[in-house]
Chains A and B, each alone.
Chain A
Amino acid sequence: MKPVLETHDLTVIYSRKPVLYGVDLTVHAGSIVGLLGPNGAGKSTFIKACMGLIPLESGWVELFGQRGRKAIRRAGYVPQRESVDWDFPVNALDVVLMGRYGKLGLFRRPGKADREMAMDCLRMVNMEAYADRQIAALSGGQQQRIFLARALAQETDLYFLDEPFVGVDAATEAAIITILRKMRDQGKTLIVVHHDLTTAAQYFDQLVLLNMRVIASGPTQEVFTEENLHRAYGGRLTLLTQAASERIQQRSS
């Protein structure tokens, strides 16, 4: 079976400084993959490069064994919450409907079936009661769930999620991870940018430790070791190491 995502020698340069350098990565179907690394390690850059949002200096990305725009259409995307203006004059259902636009193509308008499908997606994230709410009137966690519903409406097999747990309360975090697991159980692959080491081992089936290069990747229990974390986070890891090693001890005991 072909890997869902494969990158080879992926290199991205921002104003003469490499952000990603020679990243080789292979991800197979049906898992939740956590993308971890310190600030500025190139996590967001990596998923943007995979989706063709930024130019590559060298290397290639294959989604489902294909390259180019057609392949990228087979990926769904949950951007960072702060990346949009929440005062924008649309309601929650309008946002979820945007997930259908790619499938609709240029000239078709969203119809009744799309609307019903969008409502189903809202139901899946427990937000159906807020369908006609203006999006600024939603809490941070609710906004994140709307983004998740929009991704569900895209009906793709691979999703890139950029920091979906930032700025949401604990209850929403738990709700989101439940939804992600449900999606995984349907055979979807989720690549999640994450920065909280204390929850990483719990949330993800696979981990990729990134710091300009891939430090380690594979099943969580193999990757989430103190040595690997040290290599990814360098000298910056002090409190974090403690938290993480405590977490490891908890898991092994």
Chain B
Amino acid sequence: MEVFWDQTLRFFSFGDPIVRVAVAGCLLLGLACGLMGSFIMVRRLSLFGDTLSHAVLPGVAMGFIWNLSKDPVAILIGAVLAGYLGVMLVRWLTATTRLKEDAAMGMVLAGFYGLGVCLLTFVQRQAVGDMAGLDKMLFGQASALTGTDIQVLAVVSGVALALVAVFYKEFLVISFNETFARVSGIPVRWFNGLFFLLLSFAIVASLQAVGVVLVSAMLITPAATAYMLTDRMHRLIGLACVFGMLAGLIGCYLSFLGAGLPTGPFIVLVSSLGFIAAWFFSPRYGWVLEKLRRISRRRRMALENTLASIYRFREGEGHAETVALSLLGLSRHRNESLEEVESRLKRLQAEGFAKLVPSPRTAALEHCQVVLTAKGARRARTLIRNHRLWELYLNRAADYADDHVHDDAELMEHYLSEGLVDRLDQRLDYPRVDPHGRTIPSKEEARQ
């Protein structure tokens, strides 16, 4: 346990230069991947991102062979060239053969990756030059990053960020509707080339810390997490960058605790957990909240139906004050068990819509009298008004048979807004009788 706190302190004090470099690398890659990944995701180019990230590997090996040292600039150039070659190969295959894009991508991805692994193994066998970190390209090891790497990373991420900021509107319209962008006179081909270049930058920036195999997850997952939370592209990009950087930081820390465990899987794991959290708990598209909303909606409808039933019962008795409605009577009227009706009434009582008055003759709960409060009566009249106006509207305007309108109105009464009901009322010329011959409460009556 002590070791744990020791290590945690050592990590978050950022005193150790190796930790500093690793953390800086992970933050930068999170930024670059979040930025480019947002566009990759909304353009449905996820598989393309995966292909590109594998296709750069032979270029990385060649960049090393170039001058037998881990020169980040040579590796960057090699990677971009190899990636370009891979993408061109996919285009060429789809243009000249019957192969579809996914098949071409699948092949290029695996082929280039295989070639890259062979080349890397070959380089390592030769055991020449400074190869620290070269073997970490597959799964990523942030601690193998050097100060020069970080400088290159910072420049690359900074350039990507600046260009996307300057040409945001062009990237946006091209992503949404490429043909429209072309007709508007935007040099789409030029921007797509730039996009490819920036994407390659982001991938190369991540190779050392996340590894070839998992880079595509770093592109997609933070963007997908952000997509659960917002409906605007600029916010999506911002959130994706933040999530990417957070995943980078936490993943880097976890791998540091494990002393030498590969960074990539941890970063991706943290990122995935973040996605799961957003998927479940997002206010707008979250699974949990959607379920909760549905439950509360259903409960509100059940309560409102009970209120309407009480009104209808009283209406059947000519609204006579002298006629008492017991809990048992209501349960018979609604055709529900006593327990159900009882729990609803308790809820209504708690919310101030109804009261349960004990019967003077007996203490038994089922003989309690059900009385609507003023607030409850208002709500009940409004529901009945909604219901009957909607029935009448369906009947008159939409030619629904009068024996078919009830079920629809039973649902709609809970959703109709006051403004819409007023317009219905006006449209139907303030009717007082519904298709079944019952009275429709007027607006003033409903409010009393």
Which residues from chain A sit less than 8 Å from chain B, CB to CB?
48, 51-53, 69, 72-73, 75-77, 79, 83-85, 88-91, 94-95, 98-99, 101-102, 104, 106-107, 109-110, 134, 150, 154
Partner of B233, one of A48, A90, A107: A90
Q: Which residues of A contact B231 (CB under 8 A)?
A: 89-91, 134
Inter-subunit contact B42/A101 (CB<8 Å): no
- Pairs across A and B, CB under 8 Å, 14 listed: A48-B179, A51-B183, A75-B183, A77-B184, A79-B180, A85-B42, A85-B44, A85-B176, A88-B176, A90-B233, A98-B176, A99-B184, A107-B166, A134-B231
Complex CA–CA separation, A188 to B176 (angstroms)? 26
Complex CA–CA separation, A129 to B324 (angstroms)? 49
Inter-subunit contact A77/B180 (CB<8 Å): yes
- B93 touches A (CB below 8 Å): no
Inter-subunit contact A90/B176 (CB<8 Å): yes
Complex CA–CA separation, A73 to B185 (angstroms)? 6
CB distance from A94 to the nearest CB of B (A): 7
A83 and B179 in contact, given A89-B236, A94-B232 (Cβ under 8 angstroms): yes
Inter-subunit contact B179/A79 (CB<8 Å): yes
Inter-subunit contact A101/B186 (CB<8 Å): yes
Identify the stretch in B16-24, B154-162, B167-175, B256-264 within 8 Å (CB) of chain A at 4 or more residues.
B167-175
- B227 touches A (CB below 8 Å): yes
CB distance from A45 to the nearest CB of B (A): 13
Inter-subunit contact A91/B232 (CB<8 Å): yes
Partner of A101, one of B170, B232, B233, B236: B170
Inter-subunit contact B179/A53 (CB<8 Å): yes
- B362 touches A (CB below 8 Å): no
A84 and B186 in contact, given A89-B227, A90-B233 (Cβ under 8 angstroms): no
Q: Which residues of B contact A51 (CB under 8 A)?
A: 182-183
Q: Which residues of A contact B232 (CB under 8 A)?
A: 89-91, 94
- B230 touches A (CB below 8 Å): yes
Inter-subunit contact A98/B182 (CB<8 Å): no
Interface positions of B from 226 to 245, Cβ below 8 Å from A: 227, 230-233, 236
CB distance from B237 to the nearest CB of A (A): 9
Counting chain B residues whose Cβ lies within 8 A of the other chain, the interface size class is 20 to 34
Main DSSP-derived SS at the B contact region: helix
- B448 touches A (CB below 8 Å): no
Complex CA–CA separation, A85 to B186 (angstroms)? 20
Inter-subunit contact B177/A79 (CB<8 Å): yes
Inter-subunit contact B169/A95 (CB<8 Å): no
Inter-subunit contact B183/A106 (CB<8 Å): no
Partner of B177, one of A52, A73, A83, A91: A83
CB distance from B187 to the nearest CB of A (A): 8
CB distance from A105 to the nearest CB of B (A): 9
A53 and B182 in contact, given A89-B236, A90-B232 (Cβ under 8 angstroms): yes
Q: Which residues of A contact B179 (CB under 8 A)?
A: 48, 53, 77, 79, 83
Q: Which residues of B contact A101 (CB under 8 A)?
A: 169-170, 173, 181, 184, 186
Inter-subunit contact B169/A84 (CB<8 Å): no
Residue of B nearest to A54 (CB): B179
A73 and B184 in contact, given A85-B42, A85-B44, A89-B227 (Cβ under 8 angstroms): yes
Inter-subunit contact A154/B185 (CB<8 Å): no
Inter-subunit contact B183/A69 (CB<8 Å): no
A89 and B233 in contact, given A53-B183, A73-B185, A98-B180 (Cβ under 8 angstroms): yes
A102 and B185 in contact, given A89-B42, A90-B232, A110-B169 (Cβ under 8 angstroms): yes
Complex CA–CA separation, A98 to B186 (angstroms)? 11
Residue of B nearest to A107 (CB): B166
Inter-subunit contact B186/A88 (CB<8 Å): no
Interface positions of B from 193 to 243, Cβ below 8 Å from A: 227, 230-233, 236
CB distance from B272 to the nearest CB of A (A): 21
Q: Which residues of A contact B175 (CB under 8 A)?
A: 88
Q: Which residues of A contact B177 (CB under 8 A)?
A: 79, 83-84, 98
Q: Which residues of A contact B169 (CB under 8 A)?
A: 98, 101, 104, 109-110
Complex CA–CA separation, A110 to B169 (angstroms)? 8
CB distance from B193 to the nearest CB of A (A): 15
Residue of B nearest to A151 (CB): B180
CB distance from B70 to the nearest CB of A (A): 38
Complex CA–CA separation, A219 to B168 (angstroms)? 44
CB distance from B164 to the nearest CB of A (A): 13
Q: Which residues of A contact B172 (CB under 8 A)?
A: 90, 94, 98
Q: Which residues of B contact A109 (CB under 8 A)?
A: 168-169
Partner of A72, one of B42, B181, B185: B185
Of B175, B180, B236, which is in contact with the most chain A CB atoms at under 10 Å from its CB? B180
